[in-house]
């Protein structure tokens, strides 16, 4: 992945965008974190947040005009959080001790004219950067117009304490002195003049007799080199509130602090010979792209303090802070167990995946993150910025495959199953018996064939009876496993075979019974060349078979591969209505439907997480479910959910189809192979091929052992081959006590071990496991 591509992904995730309150603050005080600390009574933590970005917090925390409240999202559901009152509640409590870090002292000296809020902020920021700072003021007491605030709001001792703290850091205060601007320029390398002080400070007037004013609001530079000035008449932040926080309705305390901070940045850059304007667009109030859902937020009024002066008690402050929405997006994480499981959000995942590809190249945790995504697209559907974890992870998988960094275990079993479904054991392409070409071809997919082959036969018979022009049959795998595994080479080979066979049949319209098959192949077929089975059934009409399940209300699970196929989803709903099947729409349905846990080969790469995904999906409703994807049906059934396939309503194959267990991996392969053999024999009068010798090994396997084998992805054929090899080579071990044999066989990059015993009717399997180590034979 190129770094430009990483930046593109990062920009789409807005989780790290500032909350409205933070973006509105001219100083970018992290009001969200501050309020969250207050909510839990962590006053030291709240102090720490203020100190991080707020200059002179003992002063500004009392008089801030809180423009943050004007953009607080809570205002849309009640009153804004009273952040200003919470700041005052915090700074009136004892401040925790902390160490101020100061950079090494520099030679160039800086003069600050005026000891108001802007001047003190400039001095505070510059002294921390190592600059020697001297503050001049014609008053005998430092504080300037800060001393005009009501003492109950801003006690003079608080101002004095902040001034003393600056002195302790090395700021020199020369009070009662009124040097001219020319005198200061001669003595100091840079000068900052507070705005609105020209009538009191001689340095506020230039040599030409005009007030020293900035010509650039961003840098505060003046026409004199090295001289910077504020402008009190043009506040940089908030608004008058009528509670003593403004002077004449024009001056913003936090705006003055912003001016002081801008001046400090400009002076520091000036003294280093750096650009005054570069990369300063983030200073001051900013817009934010952060999305915050208010869908389930109740309206709440602000907490009114009992104190007549408006001061909160600790308990009142915590109650007010608890109204904060803790603004964040996380829309995708809220609905996706995969994103939640790895403990972060897409922007960070993009960085991890990029680092894994560009730097680490194969770190286990990042590999698991990449290969565990369902590729279902739900994140994109709910994201305000359309972030796609599917695109990110699929690109990463393809890159890992190309570089030879994909762990073999991630998708090996799924690719082996794909190879079986593309082998002579299952692949079949025939026109309707008695025809040379056909107008239609039924493509049931490998999963329906593996789950319920009788329904494949029933549907094919139905289609032949309803459609004219001939209905062919194509048994094959659409190529979803190699697509999801990043194996474009394998997918390309399989796609070419399917298109070639379709052309041989006369380029018929494909009728899909599997939404994933349609989703994977449709982009390569063209418009008007394919249709979903439900649409055909709508058009031609259907007759429900006898003995079907009771038509009680059921939750409808839309397969995630139909997310962008609204016409298929609606067709299925109309079909269910025709069948008199009442349905309940799940919370995640339609375009925001959830995954069953199989998508993206999650069940192979991370089976525990896939099970959790299926459990969550199953728990969305206590009702039985109905769906129209065989793998969705089986994935949810494997977690104990009672669920039907739509075809169970039309072609029931047993008394309780909703309770039908999920067929195991071995059984699915057997079902596919038997389906092909039966169709060839009964429709085309063709016999099957001879069995391999090892296929004649008869096995006795208890249900609990079958479950164990299925969980470990060990097939019946693997066990048959291992026992056949052991019995014909005598390469086996015998346990003295139990008399059980232990066989091993390595047919590919995996060694299978089987514990078994001989019985009259065959071989009883007691246990089996596999690993990637090879057994070296001693000569």
Tokens 């559901």 sit on residue: 77
pLDDT the model gives residue 247 = 39
Is residue 651 within 8 Å of residue 641, measured between CB atoms?
Answer: no
Residue 777 has pLDDT above 70, yes or no: no
Residue with tokens 């943050």: 68
Task: Read off the pLDDT of residues 310-337 as tens digits, 9 standing for 90 and up.
Answer: 899 999 999 999 999 999 999 999 999 9
For the record, the structure tokens of 27 come out as 């100083």
3-state secondary structure (DSSP) of residue 661: coil
How does pLDDT run across 145-190, given as a tens digit for each residue? 899 999 999 999 999 999 999 999 999 999 999 899 999 999 999 9
- For 539-585, what is each residue's pLDDT tens digit? 998 877 656 788 899 999 999 999 999 999 999 999 999 999 999 99
Q: Whole-angstrom Cα distance, residue 244 to residue 149?
A: 7
> Does the pLDDT of residue 246 top 60, yes or no?
no
Q: How far from chain centre, in Å, is Cα 474?
A: 38
Q: What per-residue confidence (pLDDT) applies to 196?
A: 64
Alpha carbon distance 439, 471 (integer Å): 6
- For 187-239, how does the pLDDT look when each residue is reduced to its tens digit (9 = 90+)? 999 999 998 654 456 777 777 777 778 888 899 999 999 999 987 644 444 43
- % residues pLDDT > 90 (the chain): 81
Q: E-strand spans in 391-525? A: 428-430, 440-443, 471-475, 509-512
CA angle 743, 745, 750 (to 5 degrees): 125
pTM, 2 dp: 0.84
376-385 residue pLDDT tens: 999 999 999 9
Tell me what the mean pLDDT of segment 248-266 comes to: 88
Question: Read out DSSP for 220-249?
Answer: -B-SSTTEEE--TTS-SS----SSSSSSTT
- What's the CA gap between 244 and 152, in Å, rounded? 11
- Report the alpha-carbon distance of residue 249 to residue 235 in Å, rounded: 10
3-state DSSP percent of the chain in helix, strand and coil, to 5: 45, 10, 45
Q: How many CB atoms lie within 10 A of CB 520?
A: 24
Report the distance separating Cα 670 and Cα 453, nearest Å.
10
How many beta carbons lie within 10 A of that of residue 432, not counting itself? 25
Beta bridge partners of 757: 764
Over residues 507-523, mean pLDDT: 97
Sign of torsion over alpha carbons 60, 62, 65, 69: positive
Spatial separation of the C-alpha atoms in residues 502 and 584, rounded to whole Å: 38
Phi, psi for 585 (deg, rounded to 5): -75, 130
Residue-level pLDDT at 179: 92
């Amino acid at each position: 992945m190129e770094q430009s591509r990483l930046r593109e992904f990062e920009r789409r995730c807005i989780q790290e965008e500032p909350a409205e309150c933070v973006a509105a603050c001219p100083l970018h005080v992290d009001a969200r974190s501050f309020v969250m600390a207050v909510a839990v009574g962590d006053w030291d933590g709240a102090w720490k947040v203020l100190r991080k970005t707020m200059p002179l917090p003992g002063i500004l925390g009392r008089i801030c005009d809180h423009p943050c409240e004007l953009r607080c999202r809570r205002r849309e559901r009640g009153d804004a959080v009273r952040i200003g009152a919470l700041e005052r509640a915090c700074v009136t409590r004892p401040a925790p001790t902390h160490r101020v870090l100061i950079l090494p002292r520099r030679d160039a000296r800086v003069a600050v004219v005026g000891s108001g809020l802007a001047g003190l902020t400039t001095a505070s920021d510059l002294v921390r950067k190592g600059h020697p700072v001297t503050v001049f003021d014609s008053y005998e007491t430092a504080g300037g117009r800060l001393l005009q605030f009501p003492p109950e709001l801003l006690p003079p001792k608080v101002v004095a304490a902040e001034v003393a703290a600056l002195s302790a850091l090395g700021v020199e205060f020369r009070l009662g002195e009124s040097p001219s601007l020319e005198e200061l320029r001669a003595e100091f390398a840079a000068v900052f003049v507070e705005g609105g002080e020209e009538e009191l400070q001689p340095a506020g007037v230039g040599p030409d007799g005009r007030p020293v004013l900035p010509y650039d609001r961003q840098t505060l530079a003046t026409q004199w080199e090295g001289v910077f000035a504020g402008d009190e008449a043009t506040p940089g932040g908030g608004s008058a509130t009528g509670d003593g926080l403004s002077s004449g309705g024009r001056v913003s305390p936090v705006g003055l602090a912003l001016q002081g901070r801008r001046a400090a940045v400009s002076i520091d850059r000036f003294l280093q010979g750096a650009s005054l304007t570069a990369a300063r667009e983030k200073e001051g109030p900013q817009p934010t792209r952060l999305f915050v859902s208010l869908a389930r937020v109740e309206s709440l009024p602000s907490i009114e303090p009992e104190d007549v002066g408006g001061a909160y008690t600790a308990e009142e402050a915590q109650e007010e802070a608890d109204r904060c929405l803790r603004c964040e997006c996380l829309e995708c994480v809220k609905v996706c167990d995969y994103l939640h499981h790895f403990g972060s959000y897409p922007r960070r995942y993009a960085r991890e995946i990029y680092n894994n590809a560009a730097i680490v190249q194969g770190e286990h945790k990042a590999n698991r993150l990449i290969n565990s995504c369902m590729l279902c697209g739900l994140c994109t559907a709910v994201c305000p910025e359309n972030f796609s974890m599917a695109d990110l992870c699929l690109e990463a998988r393809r890159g890992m495959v190309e570089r030879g960094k994909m762990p073999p275990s991630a998708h090996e079993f799924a690719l082996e199953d794909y190879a079986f479904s593309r082998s002579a054991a299952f692949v079949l392409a025939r026109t309707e018996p008695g025809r040379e070409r056909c107008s239609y071809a039924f493509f049931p997919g490998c999963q329906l064939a593996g789950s319920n082959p009788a329904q494949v036969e029933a549907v094919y018979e139905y289609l032949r009876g309803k459609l004219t022009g001939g209905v062919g049959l194509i048994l094959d795998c659409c190529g979803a496993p190699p697509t999801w595994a990043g194996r474009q080479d394998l997918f390309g080979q399989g796609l070419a075979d399917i298109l070639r066979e379709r052309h041989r049949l006369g380029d018929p319209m494909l009728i899909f019974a599997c939404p994933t098959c349609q989703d994977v192949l449709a982009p390569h077929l063209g418009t008007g060349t394919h249709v979903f089975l439900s649409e055909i059934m709508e058009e031609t009409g259907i007759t429900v078979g006898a003995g079907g399940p009771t038509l009680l209300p059921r939750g409808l699970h839309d397969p995630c591969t139909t997310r962008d196929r609204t016409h298929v989803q609606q067709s299925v709903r109309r079909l269910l209505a025709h069948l008199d099947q009442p349905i309940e729409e799940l919370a995640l349905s339609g375009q925001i439907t959830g995954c069953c846990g199989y998508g993206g080969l999650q069940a192979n790469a991370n089976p525990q997480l896939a099970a959790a995904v299926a459990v969550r999906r199953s728990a969305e409703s206590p009702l039985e479910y109905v769906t129209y994807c065989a793998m969705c049906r089986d994935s949810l059934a494997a977690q104990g959910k009672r669920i039907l396939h739509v075809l169970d309503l039309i072609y029931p194959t047993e008394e309780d189809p909703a309770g039908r267990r999920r067929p195991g991996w071995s059984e699915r392969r057997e079902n596919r192979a038997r389906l092909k053999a039966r169709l060839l024999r009964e429709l085309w009068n063709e016999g099957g091929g001879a069995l391999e010798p090892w296929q004649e090994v008869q096995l006795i396997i208890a249900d609990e052992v079958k479950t164990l084998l299925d969980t470990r992805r060990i097939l019946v054929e693997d066990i048959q081959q291992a026992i056949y090899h052991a019995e014909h080579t005598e390469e086996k071990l015998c346990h003295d006590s139990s008399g059980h044999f232990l066989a091993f066989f390595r047919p590919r990059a995996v060694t299978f071990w089987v514990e078994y015993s001989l019985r009259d009717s065959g071989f009883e399997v007691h246990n089996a496991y596999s690993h990637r180590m090879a057994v070296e034979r001693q000569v």
